[in-house]
């Protein structure tokens, strides 16, 4: 684990993009990170549907369950400087 990258225990569900949004702090700067519903489903080997009535709860629970794997992937993306046009990191 890279000690220069911190992951606060903050995450939320973005209904519009069907993704969990969470921050990473790198040298004092906050970077917005996202992981989509399809990637969460893939990691959990389960199918989540955007039409599920409790999709927010399910997605956030899966995020917590796979948090360390997701954070490792984000660390790699930061090292590779794989930012999108808005300066965010999207786990795909």
CB 48 within 8 A of CB 55: yes
Q: Distance (Å, rounded) from C-alpha 13 to C-alpha 26?
A: 22
Instruction: Please report the domains of the chain, with CATH numbers, ordered by start residue.
Output: 5-82 (3.30.160.140)
DSSP letters, the chain, are --TTEE--S--EEETTTTEEEEEEEETTEEEEEEEEHHHHHHHHTS---TT-TTHHHHHHHHHHHTHHHHHHHHHHHHHTT---TTS-EEE-
pLDDT at residue 35, as a whole number: 98
* pLDDT tens digit sequence for 13-63: 999 999 999 999 999 899 999 999 999 999 998 888 777 789 999 999 999
Residues 6+ apart with CB under 8 A from 71: 1, 7, 24
Question: Binning pLDDT at 50, 70 and 90, where does residue 1 land?
Answer: low
pLDDT at residue 46, as a whole number: 87
């Amino acid at each position: 684990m890279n000690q220069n990258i911190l992951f606060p225990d903050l995450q939320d569900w973005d209904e519009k993009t069907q993704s969990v949004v969470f921050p990473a702090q790198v040298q004092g700067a906050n970077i917005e990170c996202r992981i989509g519903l399809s990637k969460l489903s893939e990691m959990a080997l389960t199918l989540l549907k955007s039409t599920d009535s409790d999709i927010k709860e399910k997605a956030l629970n899966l995020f917590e369950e796979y948090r360390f794997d997701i954070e490792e992937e984000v660390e790699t993306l930061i090292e590779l400087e794989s930012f999108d046009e808005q300066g965010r990191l999207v786990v795909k």
